Every structure is written in C-alpha cells, then in structure tokens.
Copies of this chain bind each other. A is one copy, B any other.
Amino acid sequence: MAEEDIFEKVKQEFTTYLVAKGHRKTPERYMILKHIYTLDTHFDIDYLFNSINADRPMVSRATLYNTIELLVDSNLVIKHSFGSNMAHYEKAYNSESHLHLICSSCGDIKEIKDHDIKSVIQGKKLSKFALTHYSLYIYGLCTKCARTANKKKTAAVKK
C-alpha cells in the first residue's frame, strides 16, 4: 500500500475512534498522527517534539502527551518501555512484524523482522484475555559491546 493510502486509512480509523469516544477532531491531533506515520522507526516524546517543532512552534508537550495517549488507546501507535525511564513509541499500522534486540550495555535498539512469534502466540490459550498486540524484547550485548567487554576482561586478567 502506498504511504498516502496508509495514512488515509489510519486517519479514518482515528476519526472513527474520536467520534466514538466523543473527542474533538482538532488539527493538532491529525498533524501529530501524520507526522508519526512519516517516521520509520521508534521514537520518544522529546524527539517527536523537536522534529515537529523544528521550523516553528506547532504543538506543546502537553498536547503531545495527550494525543499520543489517544493514539495508543486507539491502537494506531504502540508504546514501548525499553528500560530507560523514557517511553518510546512507534506507528502500529502496516508496520512489519518485528522484534527488538536491546543492548544492555549501550542501550542501542535494533529491529529485526519476525514472522514466527505471531503464530506461536496465536496458538496459545490466553483464557479470555483479548489480545491487541505484543512486544518481544531480546536483551543481550550487541556486537560492538560484546567486543569491548571481551577486551576489558582480557585487560583485567592481565593486570
């Protein structure tokens, strides 16, 4: 699907959600949604704030927090908490199924494609829990940090 078509669909879903909940359709809300759907990876509020307001002031932090909560609630945006004490987000619709490799040392997050986990989860009996989405985080050391750690270990032994 072309990017514009995706956004049209997402926009419609958001409208439906806003109407259903009795919320107002403000330009800020649509602008934020549109901006998020131009981003190709996960982001935090601070990044979103700066990239939206790069040229001139567009929205306040308070509105960002308010809006992103609506987007998460409407399942158009996924919220992650990767371990730093700052939430990360990413668009939910039409994003390829992927999991996150998180480096415990440098905090770097890498996304890798995955099509296996989904079927395993769907095969599970979750009692009557109504699943909306899932996140798989794999922790460990990235190539770079694993190298550094080995060097350090060697150095320590030598000393």
Binding site for B on A (CB under 8 A): 20, 73, 79, 81-83, 85, 87, 101, 103-104, 110, 112, 114, 116-117, 120-121, 123-124, 126-143, 146, 156
Contacts and interface: CB of A to CB of B under 8 A. Distances in A.
6 contacts: A79-B83, A81-B82, A129-B140, A131-B138, A134-B138, A136-B136
A134 to B, nearest CB: 5
Top 9 A-B pairs, shortest CB-CB distance: A81-B81, A131-B140, A130-B141, A134-B138, A128-B143, A132-B140, A130-B140, A135-B137, A130-B146
Contact of A116 (B20, B120, B140): B120
A129 B117 contact: no
A140 B130 CA distance: 5
Contacts of A104: 73, 132
A133 B101 CA distance: 10
A131 B135 contact: no
A137 B134 contact: yes
Given A129-B142, A133-B140, A135-B139, 14 more contacts: A81-B81, A81-B82, A101-B129, A103-B129, A104-B132, A126-B140, A129-B138, A129-B140, A130-B146, A131-B139, A132-B139, A134-B136, A134-B139, A135-B136
